[in-house]
Structure 1
Amino acid sequence: MASVNIKLHDTNSFREVHIRAEPTLDELLKPGFDTFFMVRVQDMFRTMKLPIPPSRSTNHSLIYLTEGEAIMTIGGETYTIHAHECLVVAAGQIFSFRHPDVNRGYLCTFHSDFVAEKWGQNELLQEFEFLNVWGHPRIPLGKKASALVEPLFQRILELYAAEGIRNPALIQAYMVALLGEIKRAYQPTAGSTPSQAVRLANRFRELLFAHVRTHHRVTDYASWLSITPNHLNKAVKTATGKSASQWIDEALVLEAKVLLHQSTLAISDVAAGIGLLDPSYFSRLFKKHTGTTPLEFRKMIEKS
């Protein structure tokens, strides 16, 4: 079977699929919005076709709340944030949300290139851990940090609403300051001094994110990292609480969920699409981690 690609949305295609065409939309999304935009959460939510099924985006997204609550599934976990908290969806990470929550705050999406001029892509991800797929998505800021962050969101929104990104330099400068203030409040996955286990676990998750549909064995990832499979399993377990093999299984199930949402492929073709040629094994794996078979999961999608 030919490779089945999960749709990776840029902002234009996400708009076409998940946002209603309304007269006010052009006021919210200025020219160049595929590279950067900022809106009030409450304004954008009114235009969305909810629920948003498991999807991926080429851009990073930041949600910061001043009031209310937001619930989103990012990767395999569901996160809830309230006032003075930020939620980050790294570019390429799988996300979904169902609830039209009543809240107020800011939503910003941006391509790495928009703010990477200072660092370059790799340096940007090294500087801000939360922009990596293995970073902590939920960042409690508290009132002290929020007193610094909220005016930055407001100023960027004012600049964007006035002229979009026709003159991006000032917005880029404020974005660097914003990311820096969020970084000060962020709790790294490894604390201030990452251990060897944490460094291995993070590198493993980067590799897994890139190769999960073609490489399913711990031995593959251990070989790339020049360590033994046992060493990798122990390091990942120490750093994350889950073994490397469990991470692989959960990543496969998450990929399958996206395909089940995005396509009408037969279950056997979904299995093949994530590199599992035994449909029975795929169904057992899926049920083990979700409590439902792939077919039952698809019927739930159709009813929602």
Structure 2
Amino acid sequence: MNEIKVYDARTFTSRFMPSTELDALLKGDLTRFLACKLEDMYRHVKQAVPPSRSATHSCLYLTAGTATMKIGSEIYTIGKDEMLFVPAGQVFSFGEDDENEGYICNFHDDMLLGKYGNSELLKAFEFLKVWGNPRICLDERTSAYVLHLFSRIVTEYMEHGVQQLDILQPNLVALLCEVNRAYQPLRSNQPHSASDITNRFREMVFQYASTRHLVSDYAALLNVSPSHLNKSVRTMTSKSPAKWIDEAIVMEAKVLLSQFDSPISEVALQVGFEDQSYFTRLFKRYEGVTPTEFRKMIKMS
């Protein structure tokens, strides 16, 4: 059974952005933190990045151009004065044709703990949750603050790597707090109970999609009826719980198909299906191609 690779920054850049020039920009312990200008990193992307996972949170902030990324099952495009977050462990992919300027930062949860942070921050930032809204639009004033903080962080990182945490950490915390003031939930005008159930459901799907395929499984875990779960999730997301589960299964399969050459039957088993033909039909329903065709497309890209 193959274990999905969760990339750290060094492995990811070596795989998809091989460059001695880029290597020189990335300093210290990349499992914890990195920050640089977006154009200095992404101009080294020579191929589309297939569905992947990172061990750290990622955020992009644009000062010019556009960036398009698939995060989970949704496609997001951002422009100037906008930010995009990819929570640690979430599936993402992107192409190689975007032209943009701005900043990128990858950071581990540890960077929000310690002297200038605390565990409550991790709970406060919904954009770092798999169920949060990853796209954030900044007003002119907030964008100016974020630009200043990013510039300070990148300057410090380029000079000292992660050696001066007393400077890096408070600036990162301040940046995320500024972003949090501009954050808008996906559905802010819905009942709190429906929001809470939906967020917990999506967190569970993220964890258990390969082993739990039934809406009733998640309803039992949440101590609600399947009909109540269905109503809550549809109200908050306009999608049924069954569709969220199916999309999570397909995302998991796409990562496996991208990273390994295992037989399709083995991929099907790894995402919880003994019936390969059923798995193939499910995959094609959402992707428009069979698992075998998808793997060929990845290899050709």
Is the Cα–Cα contact under 8 Å of residues 45 and 96 in structure 2 kept in the other structure?
Answer: no
State the distance in 2 between where 1:299 and 1:189 align. Answer: 35
State the distance in 2 between where 1:210 and 1:240 align. Answer: 19
Partner of 1:137: 134
CA RMSD, Structure 1 to Structure 2 (Å): 1.5
- The equivalent position to 1:8 in structure 2, one of 6, 11, 30, is 6
The code of the aligned residue for 1:218 comes to V
State the distance in 2 between where 1:259 and 1:41 align. Answer: 28
Q: Secondary structure at the match of 1:160?
A: helix
> Within 5 Å, which residues of 2 pair with 1:44-63?
44-63=41-60
Is the Cα–Cα contact under 8 Å of residues 54 and 96 in structure 1 kept in the other structure?
Answer: yes
- The equivalent position to 2:278 in structure 1, one of 273, 276, 281, is 281
> Within 5 Å, which residues of 2 pair with 1:1-304?
3-22=1-20, 24-117=21-114, 118-120=117-119, 123-191=120-188, 195-304=192-301
State the distance in 2 between where 1:48 and 1:102 align. Answer: 11
Moved over 4 A (4+): none
Q: Secondary structure at the match of 1:189?
A: coil
State the distance in 2 between where 1:216 and 1:4 align. Answer: 20
Q: CA deviation at 1:158?
A: 1.0
Q: CA deviation at 1:200?
A: 0.2
Q: CA deviation at 1:25?
A: 2.6
State the distance in 2 between where 1:49 and 1:274 align. Answer: 30
State the distance in 2 between where 1:207 and 1:193 align. Answer: 21
User: Unpaired runs of 5+ in structure 2?
Assistant: none
Q: Could you state the TM-score of these two structures normalised by the residue count of structure 2?
A: 0.95
Percent of aligned pairs with the same amino acid: 48
**Equivalent residues, number:** 299
The answer to which of 208-217 and 142-151 deviates more is 142-151
The code of the aligned residue for 1:13 comes to T
The code of the aligned residue for 2:32 comes to T
The code of the aligned residue for 1:86 comes to M
The code of the aligned residue for 2:178 comes to E
Q: Secondary structure at the match of 1:86?
A: strand
User: Unpaired runs of 5+ in structure 1?
Assistant: none
Q: CA deviation at 1:220?
A: 1.3
Q: CA deviation at 1:17?
A: 1.8
Q: CA deviation at 1:193?
A: 7.6
State the distance in 1 between where 2:130 and 2:270 align. Answer: 22
Q: CA deviation at 1:34?
A: 2.1
Deviation track 1:138-181 (CA, whole Å, cap 9, x = no partner) reads: 11113222111111111111111111111101110011110011
Deviation track 1:165-215 (CA, whole Å, cap 9, x = no partner) reads: 111011100111100110111102342786101100000011110111111
